[in-house]
Structure 1
């Protein structure tokens, strides 16, 4: 039986949101378009997309926003513009930055900018990490929260100190806000307060929001207009971008409203995991609605455990599993969304206990 078939028969799926089948998703989009009188945009010009851009810009307190087909394109474009404006000075990135880890050296291979890894891999940035860089920096790219280290947040006081340092030294401060919506509950602050002091912000329209894809880049009107021109140069302007905007806009408000509930359920999950010392959790306490769970078994053994739990108990504990830093260890990411929210507390504890028992065995 394939993993897809196994997942389909599970009744306790811990990670993520339920993925709507295409027919269901497209039917919901069609109904929303009909009830809202939606017409296609043409290369980004149209009532729906421009109204949604204004809505997101106002929400985060920025002058302007522009839709982009991918966060990968949005981020390197923003940082490229910042570097060009400052004599091609380098950009500072955390060692776990998405640009380093997942984008196949695009910043380098496509000549966007020079990048410096700054700070320690296993913890979020401190203001002292930035101040210690001897080079003149054009920009900082700061991820909030930092996915590759379990969803850790830069401490609030450190974040304010980083903002102040960038203002003093004319360093463009860019936020990788792919999961900014999730960070708001962890910080206990409005997204506008978190974004204040950043020169540009990228947000995803599909990760926490559940759209088909796409992103927004926010900043000053001048920067956003320049970025839009660079998106077109890179082939990022589709003739109709409305399908991506509809998929996000129709559920945007509901998803944002659910973020506090996802965070509370993450805290419940954390307590369930802590009851089983064989399961090691990072960070020490939840800082967003995601966690990393470290196992004292190899990746191959973890996959076999998942298969057994799915077949015998209808439990699906994780989607992807990674090799750990030590031999015969592994770890997985748990993003808490609708799937976990739909389970009773008793079922959550039962699923975690089954995982722990299988790992311990």
Structure 2
């Protein structure tokens, strides 16, 4: 039985939002389009996409924002322009940056910019990490929250100090804000407050929002216009962006409003996990609606336990699981969304107890 078939048989699903089948999703998009009189954009020109770009720019406190077909393209383009404007000085990135971990060396092989790994991969940046770089920097790319270390956040005072350092030295400060909207609850501050002091911010339209794909890059009008030109040069000038915009816009406000609920459910999950000390949690306290759960079994056993829980109890605990740093350990990422929000607390307790018992 495939994973997809197993998930469909489960009444309790932990990770993310419910994945709507294409026919259901497209029907909802069609109804929303009809309700709002939506017409296709043409190469990014159209009332829907332009108003949504303005909405994102206003949310983040920037003069402008532009749609990009992928966050990967948006980020390397932003950093490329920033570094080029500063004599091709390198960008500073955390060792767990998405650009290093998931983008197959695009910044090197495509000649976008040079990059330095700065800081320790197991903890967020401090201002001292950035201030300690002896080289002239063209840009600093900071992920908020930091996915690869469990969704941790740079401490607020450290973030203020990093902003001040970059401004004083004329360094372009870019945010990988793929999950910025999720970080608001952890910081107890708005996206606009978090983004203040950054020169550019990328946000995803599909991760927490649940759209079909795509991203927004916010910054000054001149910077955004230059980035849009480079998106075209790199093949990102798709004729109709309306499917991506519709799928995000039709649920954006509801997802944004639910973020505090997702965070509270993450805090509850964290508290319930204290009863099962064999399952180690990163970070020490939730900073966003995501956690990394470290298990005392190897990856193969973790996958077997997942299948057993799905087949015997209708519980789907995680999607992907990775090998741990130590022998016979593994870990998985859990993004808390609509699925877990719908699980009664009693069922949540039961599921965790069943999981912990099978790990023994």
Q: TM-score range by the shorter chain?
A: over 0.9
In the TM superposition, what whole-angstrom CA distance separates every residue of 1:235-274 from its partner, at most 9, and x where no partner exists?
0010000000000000000000000000000000101111
The DSSP-based 3-state class of the residue aligned with 1:328 is coil
Aligned residue in 2 for 1:351: 351
Query: Shift of residue 340 of structure 1?
Result: 0.2
Displacement of 1:151 after TM fit? Answer: 0.2
Q: Provide the rounded CA distance (Å) in 2 between the counterparts of 1:308 and 1:243.
A: 38
For the pair 1:177 / 2:138, whether they are aligned, the reply is no
Partner of 1:17: 17
Instruction: Say which SS state the counterpart of residue 95 (structure 2) adopts.
Output: coil
Structure 2, unaligned runs of 5 or more:
none
- What's 1:35 paired with? 35
Structural mapping, 1:34-53, within 5 Å: 34-53=34-53
Aligned counterpart, 2:151: 151
- Give, in angstroms, the shift of residue 39 of structure 1: 0.5
Give the deviation of 1:356 after TM superposition.
0.7
Q: Match of 1:261?
A: 261
Aligned counterpart, 1:283: 283
In structure 2, what is the equivalent of residue 307 of structure 1?
A: 307
CA distance in 2, matches of 1:8, 1:274: 29
Cα deviation, residue 107, structure 1: 0.3
- 1:209-228 to structure 2, matched below 5 A, reads 209-228=209-228
SS in 2 for 1:278: coil
Please list, as runs of the form range in 1=range in 2, the aligned pairs for 1:90-101 lying within 5 A after superposition.
Answer: 90-101=90-101
DSSP 3-state at the match of 1:307: helix
**1:276-334, CA deviations, whole angstroms, 9 ceiling, x for partnerless residues?**
01100000010000000000100000000001011111111100000000111000000
The CA distance in 2 between the partners of 1:35 and 1:327, in whole Å, is 55
- Counterparts in 2 of 1:218-257, with a 5 A limit? 218-257=218-257
SS in 1 for 2:291: strand
SS at match of 1:250: helix
Distance 1:353 1:127 in 2: 41
Rounded to whole Å, the distance in 2 between the matches of 1:107 and 1:231 is 15
Aligned to 1:322: 322
Number of the residue aligned with 1:296: 296
Aligned counterpart, 1:208: 208
Cα contact 1:274–1:281 (8 A) shared by 2: no
1:51 is displaced (CA, Å) by 0.4
Query: Which whole-Å CA distance do the structure 2 matches of 1:32 and 1:4 have between them?
Result: 28
3-state SS in 1 of match to 2:103: coil
CA distance in 2, matches of 1:346, 1:84: 55
In the alignment, which residue of structure 2 is the partner of 1:83? Answer: 83
| Secondary structure of the structure 1 residue equivalent to 2:222 | helix
Structure 1 partner of 2:63: 63
User: Do structure 1's residue 134 and structure 2's residue 167 form an aligned pair?
Assistant: no
Identify the residue that residue 191 of structure 1 maps to in structure 2: 191
Distance 1:104 1:182 in 2: 26
- Once the two structures are TM-superposed, the CA of residue 46 in structure 1 deviates from its matched residue by 0.5
Could you tell me how far apart the structure 2 residues matched to 1:61 and 1:4 are?
Answer: 40
Please give the alpha-carbon distance, in whole angstroms, between the structure 2 residues aligned to 1:2 and 1:20.
18
Q: Structure 1 runs of 4+ off > 2 angstroms?
A: none
Distance in 2, Cα, partners of 1:290 & 1:299: 20
TM-superposed CA distance for 1:2, in Å, is 1.6
Aligned residues: 360
* Corresponding position of 1:72: 72
Q: TM-score, normalised by structure 1?
A: 0.99
